[in-house]
Amino acid sequence: MDALTAFFDMGGYARFIWPAYGLVTLVALGLLVTSGRALRSRERELAQLQERNPGRRGRIYE
Amino acid sequence: MLGLSTPSGFVRFAKAVSPWLWVASALLIGGGLYFALLVSPADYQQGQTVRIMYIHVPSAWLGMMGYSVMALSSAAALIWKNPLADLVAKASAPVGACFTFLCLATGSLWGKPMWGTWWAWDARLTSMLILLFLYFGYIALQNAFDDPGRGARAAAILALAGFVNVPVIKFSVDWWKTLHQPASLMKMSGPALHPSMLTPLLLMVAGFTCFYVAVLMVRVRSEILAAKIRALRLSEIHSVQAAGVADGVAG
């Protein structure tokens, strides 16, 4: 068995170790993408609202 | 403090700090993965499965840190009525919930080959599962009211009451000696880990923490925008109603 195969085999525990790493990668990237997208879409929405209501900036102290 | 407690001060600070956090997070996790997967040795008892620890422990750490940030911000929101604190708590909840889930899932993937079971009602595992349910309860309660202010208040009280679970998780391995191994990192006598395993673990914990703070900043900025949008929409409705009343009087 060459070194690369041995690495991916993980001493026979590949089916536990790689799914663990894969899942963490997937969820972390998912958090990153959804959080970034939500920020962008709200930036766009706010810009449109401010264009429609000149002079109002949307204060959050109510 | 740096004007951080106001939304505009926070946004300025977040925009300045975020790029550095992303870079630090990428470098730390990259280095951590190199040591975790390639350099560090297999454990003499656990074999290669010890490598799951390098993502399991940082996930557990963030699950508990996410909740602590949520509970402390909730306290600040309830006591000082700080408008930013509610948003920080709200932003932290889904991130902490995700990492709590990852902690349970990676632990399960380690438990099957090492303990011979995916799950056991061990004190540590159970208190971690309760943490996940507390996150779910918090998120659900927040969205259960039409008035976001009332939802935030109810959820903040739940977050504070549930905070008691965090030390229970931490000390569960000492109070109930069931299955989960005791702490090897945060010990009075210093870490009980060989440097070859301590290095990747600390790099990953630091990298995960930078990632959490960076994602939190994006989400808090997003919540600030959502609140502004809500305020603007309300003022639009009010001005339309006022115009309607004026028309009615005139007509």
* Chain A neighbors of B95, CB-CB under 8 A: 31
Look at residue B207 and tell me if it is in a domain.
yes
Cα B165 from Cα B176, distance rounded (Å): 15
What's the domain range around B86?
Answer: 7-176+197-250
Amino acid at B44: Y
Look at residue B68 and tell me if it is in a domain.
yes
Q: Could you report the per-residue pLDDT of A2-51, keeping only the tens digit for each?
A: 888 989 889 889 999 999 999 999 999 999 999 999 999 999 999 999 88
Domain ranges in chain A? 16-52
Look at residue B145 and tell me if it is in a domain.
yes
Report ipTM for this prediction.
0.89
Q: Do B219 and A13 touch (CB under 8 A)?
A: no
Look at residue B90 and tell me if it is in a domain.
yes
Q: Do B235 and A45 touch (CB under 8 A)?
A: no
The two three-digit tokens of residue A18, written as one number: 């790689």
Cα B199 from Cα B192, distance rounded (Å): 12
Total domain count for chain B?
1
The CA distance from A11 to the nearest CA of chain B, in Å, is 6
Cα B8 from Cα B228, distance rounded (Å): 11
The CA distance from A22 to the nearest CA of chain B, in Å, is 10
pTM as predicted: 0.91
Q: Do B235 and A28 touch (CB under 8 A)?
A: no
Task: Check residue B16 and give its pLDDT.
Answer: 95
Residue B139, CB-side half-sphere exposure with 13 Å CA sphere: 14
By CA distance, what is B59's nearest residue in A? A24
Cα B86 from Cα B125, distance rounded (Å): 29
Would you list the DSSP string of B50-105?
A: GGGHHHHHHHHHHHHHHHHHHHHHHHHHHHH--HHHHHHHHHHHHHHHHHHHHHHH
Which of B37, B48, B54, B90 is the best substitution to test chain A (most A C-beta atoms within 10 A)? B48
Nearest by CB to B55, from A20, A39, A58: name it: A20
* pLDDT tens-digit profile, chain B (251 residues): 556 778 889 999 999 999 999 999 999 999 999 999 999 898 888 889 999 999 999 999 999 999 999 999 999 999 998 889 999 999 999 999 999 999 999 999 999 999 999 999 999 999 999 999 999 999 999 999 988 889 999 999 999 999 999 999 988 888 887 788 887 777 767 777 888 899 999 999 999 999 999 999 999 999 999 999 999 998 888 777 777 776 666 65
Please count the helices (runs of H) and the strands (runs of E) in chain A: 2, 0
